[in-house]
Each structure stands twice: as structure tokens, then as C-alpha cells.
Chains A and B, each alone.
Chain A
């Protein structure tokens, strides 16, 4: 809607509030760095050394990344059939979309709480299995990696559904029919036309879910407990329990670099997979 007019300075003020919000954000990032890299008035890598020297912290990083990769793949895999269902059901799509949106937008804490009720030692699943008589002692479904993976996957599937659905919906009309006229069966059409064209949504999901996972605090803390630490739960402890802001900032920067490296890697894979698709 550019009308080709020159802006006046007064009109430029309209940009100011947004710049203030962005300014606050970038200031907070700078403060994060200064907290992590400055010690007693000088540049220092002390806090990073403290983190990198501890083998048990390596496990935390390793677990966070591995879990996040598993969750991202699992969430996309489970989301795909739901996206297909929504894509095909034109008539009820809005209603089904609400079934996806509500779990997506309901607070993380509430959804995780649901899993605690389900998976906890005195939870629904154990109570049910005990009542049926399948087990005597409660299964350990929580406070381990399984709990974290189940919880995070469930929390993030809705996003994958929505972004894959967006890709499917952007597929031009008649492409499937064209493929069938040219001699492709149902499965061939899916494999060669529909699936490749849904890849942008798949990659967006992988990226966003991976990011959300490695930066998660609430779900790993509640479902993983104190022993199975995530980078997020470690950060939470540094801030809330030991009040060590500098170390928390150093953790955050490690996390940031981790996500940055992973994103570049994923972008590279995406480029190769989507070669020529524009």
C-alpha cells in the first residue's frame, strides 16, 4: 500500500514504540552477554570454563539436544496424519482446527500438569493398570527421559499440525488430479507430488519444535525432575536457587550458540531437500 509519498519526521514517530520494544529486547541480549563475559570489571571466560569443565554438564547438553531431535522428529511424524486429515476434510476443517488450536494455546503448565496426572506414580495410568491388575508396583513413567519426551512431543504436535497443514493448503488445485491423469496411483501421487510440496511445512516444524525443546524449562522441570536435567532446568536453578545470574547467562549463551549451530545445519539440509522448490 505504498503511495509513494515521502515520510515526514513527525510521521516517523509512528515507528518509535516498536523501536522501543525492539530496543529493550536487544538491550536485554547485550546485558545477557555482559553478564556472561564480564567478571569483576574485565572480560572473562570464567563462567564458561565452570560449565564446560563439568562432565555431568556435558550430559545435560547431550540429553537436551538428543531429546530435542527425537521430539522434533516424533512430533512431525505424529502430526502429519492429523494435517492430512484436516486438509482432506474441507467441510469440518474449522471445527477440527479448534481441536488442534486449543491444546496449542492452552498454557504449557496446564498441559504438562495433565501429563503429571496421567503419568505420575499415583497417576491415572498407574492407577488404571493397578486396578486392572496388570502391575503391582507403579511403573516409572515420569522423572525420566520418557516422561520428558512424551510431554514435549505432545505439547509441540499442534504447531507441527498447523504448519504442515499450511503447506498442504498452499498446494495448487488439481495437482493431484493432474498426477493421476498422467498415470500415477494414489501412493505415487503422495510420494512424488504431495509430500515434496509439504516439505516446507515439515522443515518449519522441525526447526521451531527443536528450538522450543532446547529452550524448554517447564516441561523438563516438571516431568524430568531434578535428576534428569535439561539445559532449561539448569538455567532455572541457577537463577531461582543459586541466584548466579552470570552463570545462568553463560548457560543461556551456550544454549543460544547451540540453537544457532543447529539452525544453520537444518537450514542447510532444508536447502538440499527443497532444491529447486521455490
Chain B
């Protein structure tokens, strides 16, 4: 399901991808992808390995040519433009730093190719060494740097040329968690300062949520959804996106009736939901569907009658786990495993009853649920790879 965005953005650094497909022999790794990336945005291509995100990045860079469709940068079609003439920079997964150059030489390389004067080269190299926080390391050899420092050299090397677009191919994947977090903030910060369009590829949904303005969720060569991190999380458009982003409770079931309300029969009970919670093709009676619920939407109910719009069910507490401010409750609703995550404080009044073995009444706002058609076979396998 691709989303058409007809108006091309004319500012520097905009990318318009129209109906791009890429095949190798019989295998189609990208099919009919259309995407508009506004100038100055921080956009992330997110998806499991093999979803086509890196292929899309390499198409934008011009390392490979699309089988069908075209890519425009700043309104100009790139089909005949070789990589070295495109207004792009790129940070590679393995960083691809030149091992026979020093830090400063790596950063100066592109300027030299452009015939920049020595004085200006020096000044700009110095400026970008500072920008990425590598002061004093200009003469170091690449082999003498730590992982995070190499990362910064790769970034400076691309940014010093002031490209209107920077492509980043999982550049943080080799780093340990702490360094990764640190560099995520640094990246976001630098992007805000320079207003360069960043196109970032990752398979890590948490990383994508942290740094991007917009996320493109991809799978099996298709764009599944485009939106802000918030939209992607709270309103996923299909089961794949819902499963891929964040934690989710899945209640497989069958539609009993569709109309004024959508009644879905699941192992945990039959739930009456407003028809607006369904995404994708509207479900009809008899269809197999999956109800998805974020864990934080499932609350423990007291003895009082539930507020209007709250759907309830009976469940047994299997286990509780207090993780600082949050408590994670594992439940069993007539054979269906569910997870609820609650603020520990908010559980106060009912804590006494939420103990392993106890039977509790749980509830969730009917409009917080999402109802999706089952995964198509190809998406299911893409998922199998990831999980």
C-alpha cells in the first residue's frame, strides 16, 4: 500500500520517488515505491532486513538504476546523473573511511576533488572537525580511532561538502548501546543545525522513533506506512506495522457482525468495537481478523461499573513485574496471553488483588483497539525473519 504524494517539493534537498521498482532477474526487491521527502526533514526508512530499504537508498545515491520509475532530486530527474554529480552525501554501514588517509585528509578529500583552495579546505575541515566533536584528532590515522570517532569522521567527511541530502545506511549498527544513544542525539542535533535532508536507514524501530521526523515503514519491497513516529505508533495502518513498531497484544478472532458496531469473537471473549477501529479493507461478518491492543491501554478495573466506552474481560494474573515506575502484568484471558503495562502508582488501589493466580477484570477503551486483516503470506515470512 503506497501513498501518492503528488506535489513535488521545490526547495533544496527534496526527493521525489515515483513508482520506482527494482528487480534482479526474477526477484523484485522494490515494487512501485512512491515517496516524497520534503527538504530539511529527517526521514527514516525502517524495516526488517531484506525489505528493500537499503536498495532504495542505493537508488537515490545512483549506485544502481531503477528497473522502472524515476527519482527526482530538487525537481530534477536523476536518471542520467552519475553518483558523483548528485547533490548527496552518504555515510556507509561500514563507514568506508579511507584507511590510507588521516582524519583531516579523509574530510578534505571531497573538497580537493572540487578544486577548493588549500586555505578554504583547511578552514572548512577545521570547522567540521569541530562540529562533529573531533577537535585535535585531525592528524590521527583511521586505525587509531574508536568506533564512535570513526563514525564522526564519516559524518564530517560527507557534511563538509554541504550536500543538500545526506544518506545514512545503518551507520550506528556496529556501536554499543550507550554510544549509539549518544550519537543518535548528536545526529539529530547536527541535522537541526544544518537543515540538511537526512535519509536514514535502520532496522531498529526504537532508533527510528528516537531520531526521525518521519518514518517510512517498509516490508518486502513495499512501503507499508509513512508518518510521524507518533502516528506510526498510535495509528498503524496494518497488522505488519502494528507488530513491527513497539509491543502489541494480538487477539486473533472472527467478525460476528459488522454494521453499527463491529463484534469480534476472540478466545478472550467477544468484543463490541466501533467500526472506525478497523484499518484496511472493511471487515465483513465471518472474516478472520486480529484485534491489536497496546499493553498500556489494558487497565485493571475495580468493582465499580466501567466508564462508557470501556470494553471489559475476565483474566487471570500469571505474573507481575515491577520495573521502576512501570509494572508489567502478564495475563491469561481464557487461554489468550496478554500483557498490560501500567504506572506502578496508578495500580495502587488494586495492587492487593493483582497477584499471581488472582482473577481480575480488565478493560480497554474500545476506540484504542485496532482491527486488521491477517498478514498476507509474504508479509508473514518477512516477519518471521525479524522475530
Q: Which residues of A contact B63 (CB under 8 A)?
A: 177, 180
Contact pattern, B 75-117, Cβ under 8 Å of A = 1, otherwise 0: 0000000111000111011101111111000000110011000
B99 contacts A197, CB within 8 Å?
yes
> Interface centre among A178, A180, A278, by most B CB within 10 Å?
A178
B94 contacts A182, CB within 8 Å?
no
Closest partner residue, chain A, to B101 (CB atom): A276
Closest partner residue, chain B, to A189 (CB atom): B84
Bound CA span A253–B223, Å = 73
A183 contacts B96, CB within 8 Å?
no
Contact of A180 among B83, B99, B102, B141 (CB under 8 A): B83
A278 contacts B113, CB within 8 Å?
no
Size category of the binding interface on chain B = 20 to 34
Contact of B113 among A173, A174, A184, A277 (CB under 8 A): A184
Q: Which residues of B contact A276 (CB under 8 A)?
A: 100-102, 141
Contact of A183 among B84, B94, B98 (CB under 8 A): B84
B216 part of interface (Cβ distance < 8 Å): no
Bound CA span A112–B333, Å = 85
Contact of A172 among B84, B94, B102 (CB under 8 A): B94
Contact of A173 among B94, B101, B114 (CB under 8 A): B94
Contact pattern, A 163-184, Cβ under 8 Å of B = 1, otherwise 0: 0000000001111011111111
Chain A: minimal CB distance from B30 (Å): 19
Bound CA span A8–B356, Å = 59
A81 part of interface (Cβ distance < 8 Å): no
> Interface centre among B92, B97, B99, B158, by most A CB within 10 Å?
B99
Q: Which residues of B contact A177 (CB under 8 A)?
A: 61, 63, 83, 90, 92, 96
A181 contacts B84, CB within 8 Å?
yes
A257 part of interface (Cβ distance < 8 Å): no
Q: Which residues of B contact A181 (CB under 8 A)?
A: 61, 83-84, 88-90, 158
Q: Are A184 and B98 CB-contacts (below 8 A) given A174-B92, A178-B92? A: no
Bound CA span A278–B92, Å = 21
Q: Are A193 and B84 CB-contacts (below 8 A) given A178-B92, A181-B158? A: no
Q: Which residues of A contact B92 (CB under 8 A)?
A: 174, 177-178
The residues in B between 197 and 238 inclusive whose CB is less than 8 angstroms from any CB of A are: none
Q: Which residues of B contact A274 (CB under 8 A)?
A: 100
Contact of A178 among B90, B100, B161 (CB under 8 A): B90
Closest partner residue, chain B, to A274 (CB atom): B100
Chain B: minimal CB distance from A252 (Å): 39
B88 contacts A183, CB within 8 Å?
no
A188 part of interface (Cβ distance < 8 Å): yes
A183 contacts B141, CB within 8 Å?
no
Contact pattern, A 254-278, Cβ under 8 Å of B = 1, otherwise 0: 0000000000000000000010111
B179 part of interface (Cβ distance < 8 Å): no
> Interface centre among B63, B82, B83, by most A CB within 10 Å?
B83
Q: Which residues of B contact A184 (CB under 8 A)?
A: 84, 109, 113
Bound CA span A104–B114, Å = 44
Contact pattern, A 120-143, Cβ under 8 Å of B = 1, otherwise 0: 000000000000000000000000
B100 contacts A197, CB within 8 Å?
yes
Bound CA span A13–B161, Å = 62
Chain B: minimal CB distance from A99 (Å): 27
B157 part of interface (Cβ distance < 8 Å): yes
Contact pattern, B 129-169, Cβ under 8 Å of A = 1, otherwise 0: 00000000000010100000000000001100100000000
Bound CA span A196–B109, Å = 14
Contact of A182 among B99, B141, B157 (CB under 8 A): B157
Closest partner residue, chain A, to B154 (CB atom): A178
Closest partner residue, chain B, to A185 (CB atom): B84
Chain B: minimal CB distance from A232 (Å): 37
Q: Which residues of A contact B161 (CB under 8 A)?
A: 182-183
Contact pattern, B 54-89, Cβ under 8 Å of A = 1, otherwise 0: 000000010100000000000000000011100011
Chain A: minimal CB distance from B157 (Å): 7
Bound CA span A177–B58, Å = 10
Q: Which residues of A contact B109 (CB under 8 A)?
A: 179, 182, 184, 192
Closest partner residue, chain B, to A170 (CB atom): B99
Contact of B96 among A172, A185, A277, A278 (CB under 8 A): A172
Known: A179-B109, A276-B102. 6 other contacts (CB 8 A): A177-B96, A178-B96, A178-B98, A181-B88, A181-B158, A197-B100
Q: Which residues of A contact B (CB under 8 A)?
A: 172-175, 177-185, 188, 192-193, 196-197, 274, 276-278
CB pairs A–B below 8 angstroms (10 shown): A172-B99, A174-B92, A177-B61, A178-B92, A178-B98, A180-B83, A181-B83, A181-B90, A183-B84, A278-B141
**Among all A-B residue pairs, the 6 with the closest Cβ atoms:** A182-B110, A174-B96, A178-B96, A277-B100, A180-B83, A181-B90
